[in-house]
Structure 1
Amino acid sequence: MDTPDVAVVGTGPNGLAAAVTMARAGLRVALYEQAEDIGGGLRSAPLFDDAITHDICSAVHPLAAVSPFLRGFDLAARGVELLHAPAAYAHPLANGRAAVAYRDLAMTCAGLGRDGDRWRRLMQPLLDHSDAVVGMMLSAQRTPPREVGAALLVLRQILVHGTTLTRHRFRTDAARALLTGVAAHAVGPLPSPASGAVALLLGHLAHGAGWPVPRGGSGRIADALADDVRAHGGTFHTGCRVNDLDELGPVRAVLLDVGAKEFVRIAGRRLPTGYARALTAFRYGPGAAKVDFLVSEPIPWANPEVGKAATVHLGGTQAHMWRVESRTARGLPCAEPFVLVVDPAVADPGRARPGLRPVWAYAHVPHGDPRDPVALVRSRIERFAPGFADTVVASRGISARDYERYNPNYVGGDIGAGAMTLRQSVLRPTPRLDPHTTPLSGVYLCSAATPPGPGVHGMSGLLAARSALRREFGMRSLPSLEPSGRQWRVFLRRETD
Structure 2
Amino acid sequence: MPSMRDAVVVGAGPNGLTAAVELARRGMTVEVFEARDTVGGGARTEELTLPGFRHDPCSAVHPLGAGSPVFRALPLERYGLTWLHPELAMAQPFDDGTAAVLAHSVGETAMSLGPHDAGRYRKLVAPYTGRWDTLAADFLTVPWDGVPGGPLTLARFGAVGLPPVSWLLRRFRDDRARALFAGLAAHVMAPLSTPATSGLALVFALAAHAHGWPLARGGSQAIADALAAYLRDLGGVVHTGVEVRRIDELPPARAYVFDTSPSALARIAGLGNAFAGFRHGAAAFKIDYALDGPVPWTAPEARRAGTVHLGASTAEIATALEAAAGGRKAPEVPFLITAQPTLVDPERAPEGKHVYWAYGHVPNGWDGDLTDAVERQIERFAPGFRDLVLARAVAGPPELAARNANYVGGDIACGAFTGLQTLLRPRPARVPYATPHPAVYLCSSAAWPGPGVHGMVGHNAAKAVWRRLRQS
TM-score tier (shorter): over 0.9
Aligned mate of 1:122, from 117, 121, 124: 124
Cα distance between partner residues in 2 of 1:261 and 1:330: 22
Q: 1:150 offset after TM fit, Å?
A: 1.2
- Is 1:148 the equivalent of 2:151? yes
Q: Partner of 2:46: helix, strand, or coil?
A: strand
1:304 paired residue number: 300
Cα distance between partner residues in 2 of 1:3 and 1:132: 38
CA RMSD of aligned residues (A): 1.8
Q: Which moved more, 1:383-392 or 1:354-363?
A: 354-363
Letter in 2 for 1:383: R
- Is 1:324 the equivalent of 2:305? no
2:428 paired residue number: 431
Cα distance between partner residues in 2 of 1:92 and 1:32: 43
- Is 1:410 the equivalent of 2:407? yes
Q: Partner of 2:441: helix, strand, or coil?
A: strand
| Greater share of helix | 1
Q: Partner of 1:280: helix, strand, or coil?
A: coil
Letter in 2 for 1:107: E
- Is 1:253 the equivalent of 2:249? no
Letter in 2 for 1:220: A
Letter in 2 for 1:450: A
Cα distance between partner residues in 1 of 2:123 and 2:80: 37
Q: Which moved more, 1:234-243 or 1:371-380?
A: 371-380
Q: How many residues are treated as equivalent by the alignment?
A: 468
**1:181-203 deviation line (CA, Å, top 9, x unaligned):** 11111111113223211101011
Letter in 1 for 2:286: K
2:209 paired residue number: 207
Contact 2:165/2:194, CA 8 A, preserved across alignment: yes
**1:355-387 deviation line (CA, Å, top 9, x unaligned):** 321111111111111123333322221111110
Contact 1:141/1:452, CA 8 A, preserved across alignment: no
**1:187-225 deviation line (CA, Å, top 9, x unaligned):** 111132232111010111112211000111111111111
- TM-score, normalised to structure 1, is 0.90
Contact 2:165/2:196, CA 8 A, preserved across alignment: no
Q: Partner of 1:222: helix, strand, or coil?
A: helix
1:427–1:65 Cα change, 3 Å: same
Q: 1:404 offset after TM fit, Å?
A: 1.4
Cα distance between partner residues in 1 of 2:85 and 2:295: 18
Q: Partner of 2:96: helix, strand, or coil?
A: helix
1:359 paired residue number: 356
2:340 paired residue number: 343
Q: Which moved more, 1:217-226 or 1:2-11?
A: 2-11
Cα distance between partner residues in 2 of 1:288 and 1:126: 31
Cα distance between partner residues in 1 of 2:423 and 2:178: 27
Runs of 4+ in structure 1 over 6 Å off: none
Letter in 1 for 2:345: D
Contact 1:373/1:398, CA 8 A, preserved across alignment: no
1:493 paired residue number: none
Q: Partner of 2:129: helix, strand, or coil?
A: helix
- TM-score, normalised to structure 2, is 0.95
**1:322-348 deviation line (CA, Å, top 9, x unaligned):** 122122111132111111100011222
Contact 1:133/1:201, CA 8 A, preserved across alignment: no
Alignment of 1:469-488 (within 5 A): 469-474=466-471
1:315 paired residue number: 311
Q: 1:159 offset after TM fit, Å?
A: 5.4
Q: 1:26 offset after TM fit, Å?
A: 2.4
Contact 2:130/2:210, CA 8 A, preserved across alignment: no
Contact 1:264/1:280, CA 8 A, preserved across alignment: no
| Percent identity over paired residues | 42
Cα distance between partner residues in 2 of 1:4 and 1:473: 14
Cα distance between partner residues in 2 of 1:88 and 1:163: 21
Q: Partner of 1:405: helix, strand, or coil?
A: helix
Aligned mate of 1:139, from 117, 138, 141: 141
Contact 2:274/2:436, CA 8 A, preserved across alignment: no
2:160 paired residue number: 157
Q: 1:95 offset after TM fit, Å?
A: 2.5
Q: Which moved more, 1:182-191 or 1:19-28?
A: 19-28
Unaligned ranges ≥5, structure 1: 476-497
Unaligned ranges ≥5, structure 2: none
Q: 1:2 offset after TM fit, Å?
A: 4.9
Contact 1:425/1:451, CA 8 A, preserved across alignment: no
Q: Which moved more, 1:76-85 or 1:173-182?
A: 76-85
1:373–1:234 Cα change, 3 Å: farther
Q: Partner of 1:63: helix, strand, or coil?
A: coil
